[in-house]
Amino acid sequence: MPAPATDKVFAGSIPKLYEEYLVPLIFQPYATELAALVASRPVTRVLEVAAGTGVVTRALVSALSEDVSIVATDLNQPMLDLACAVGTRRPVQWRQADALNLPFEDGEFDAVVCQFGVMFFPDKSKAFSEARRVLKPGGAFLFDVWDRIEDNEFAHTVTLALESLLPQAPPRFLARTPHGYHRRTDIERDLEQAGFRMQPRFETLAARSRAATSWIPALAYCQGTPLRSEIEALGAGLEEATDFAAQAITRQFGVGPVDGKVQAHIILAER
């Protein structure tokens, strides 16, 4: 069954909460790792797709020399607007673009980068084909995806809590989309269909997700992602759902600072 259209909507208050809470909670360590991988390659022009609020863009600016040009794109203009407002230490080109139909010529880039965005693409092999098209021969497509939700403890705890709160129609956004594309066989199949012939390189990387209180991950997931739209569509109170999720995190991880596991796959496919 196709994912609901709301799974891809990052608007309203979501971008601000995403940047303030989710970025330090789960995205920053992987952004640093992905940027380091790009910096280990000979690059002069880099494209980022699904840039969100710019966490990887900022990491790329720090990791790459100033003569490397960076183009950062996202389908959701509100996310790009916040990324521009946060800014970078040197200029980058921000551009609204659909990863399934990139507005660039063939072979323009040495690397295409995407952090935790490919799970949202409705046609993944088409998006991968577009990434390959805009790469120079020998260029690299570097991206990461979350591992299964059971290996990402806060997300799993929030999902189980909401299943208990809303048993008739449990909101499954986190399991369905962010954590719904983790099987290596599926990723390899879609890359091959897109024209990547060399065996991709996979690395599974675990990290820690830490917050001062249980309320922070509950707020981050329930209100800083499209899970918010799903909760609201079910007629549930957003604050009630967030508080219920926070209580579940407290029961599992304790009162005060909380510390949970996150895990993702980092993939490198060469053209």
Distances (CA, A) of 198 to 43, 90, 185, 191, 195: 20, 34, 14, 9, 9
Contact 134, 105 (CB under 8 A): yes
Residue pLDDT, tens place only, 40-92: 999 999 999 999 999 999 999 999 999 999 999 999 999 999 999 999 999 99
1 pLDDT exceeds 60?
no
The pLDDT score that the predictor gives to residue 173 is 96
**CATH homologous superfamily of domain 5-270?**
Vaccinia Virus protein VP39 (3.40.50.150)
Domain ranges for the chain, please list them.
5-270
Give me the residue label for tokens 């002069």.
44
What confidence score (pLDDT) does residue 235 get? Answer: 80
Q: Is the dihedral of CA 18, 103, 143, 71 positive or negative?
A: negative
Torsion of CA 99, 103, 107, 113, to 10 degrees: -30
Over residues 101-120, the pLDDT tens digits come to 999 999 999 999 999 999 99
Q: Encode pLDDT of 210-239 as tens digits.
A: 999 999 999 999 999 999 999 998 887 999
Q: What percent of the chain has pLDDT over 90?
A: 92
pLDDT score recorded for residue 11 = 80
What's the average model confidence in pLDDT over 171-189?
Answer: 97
Model pLDDT, residue 9: 76
By DSSP bridging, strand 201-211 and strand 258-270 are: antiparallel
Question: What is the arrangement of strands in the sheet containing 109-115, beginning at the earlier edge strand?
Answer: 93-96, 69-74, 45-48, 109-115, 135-146, 258-270, 201-211
